[in-house]
Each structure stands twice: as C-alpha cells, then as structure tokens.
Amino acid sequence: MTKYRCESVTDVASCKVYIEVFYPADSHQVFRTSPANFDTHEAAEREFIQFANDVLPDFTSLPADPNNQGWVLGFAVVKNSPWHFGGIYAQEEMAAHVAANLGGDYEVLYGSHKEDSDDFMRISR
C-alpha cells in the first residue's frame, strides 16, 4: 500500500483550509495540494479520502518491475532540477495530464519507481 503524509493548512488570504500531500511520507517536498475550499481542518480531514481517490496515483495497480523487487513500471512525471517525483501512472496520457497541471519543467518518462520513495530509473522501451 502506498503511504502518504497529509497536512491541513490554512490559506492566509482566504482563511480556507487546503490539504498538502507528501510522498514519500517522510518527504519535505509537497507532492500534491488540494484547492483551498474547506471551512475547517476537520472538514479537510473528512474529505481527504475523496481528494486522494481523485488525484493521487495508485501505485499498487502498476505492473511489478521483473528486474527490481519492490519497484513498479509506468510513466513517471518528473522534474530534474530541483528533483521532484510527481507520480507514476499506467497510462502515458494520464501522466502527461498531470505533468501539464504541475507545469514548469516536468516531463513524462517511462521507467521503474521504487514504491514509498522518490526513486525513479528511466528505462528504454
């Protein structure tokens, strides 16, 4: 099972609450952020499961990398500088959609990802 760490944060401008998701769980870099549309931290916590189902990749549905135990194969969203692993997806189109939403220097590469880490190796297909 993929492990995320989530924190609810109050937006200073709107006084609304949003969710920051960190992956891997010990990361200091935000993996995804929800819109600031919750009235309270409790409401954000109650709605997190729906947010997670909508935007967080399910790494467990990806094929195992036969050459690396504990790694999965797919289309990753990455930024090289500074390094940020934005997720890995079974479908290249989904990865491209996520990369476009993240903006900047994100690209889609096929390869292998070590679950519960931000490790990724590009693989030629």
**pLDDT (tens digit per residue) in 58-77:** 767 899 999 999 999 999 99
**pLDDT (tens digit per residue) in 21-40:** 888 888 888 888 888 999 99
- Domain extents in the chain: 5-55, 59-122
Task: Give the model's confidence band at 2: pLDDT under 50 very low, under 70 low, under 90 confident, else very high.
Answer: low
Kindly list the distances between the CA atom of residue 100 and the CA atoms of 34, 78, 88, 96, 120, in Å, as whole numbers in the listed order: 16, 11, 14, 6, 19
Q: Is the pLDDT of residue 109 over 90?
A: yes
Amino acid at 35: P
Q: Return the structure tokens found at 49.
A: 């499961």
Largest CA distance in the chain: 49
User: If you average pLDDT over every residue of the chain, what do you get?
Assistant: 88
Burial classification of residue 37, based on how many CB atoms lie within 10 Å of its CB (0-12 exposed, 13-18 middle, 19 or more buried): middle
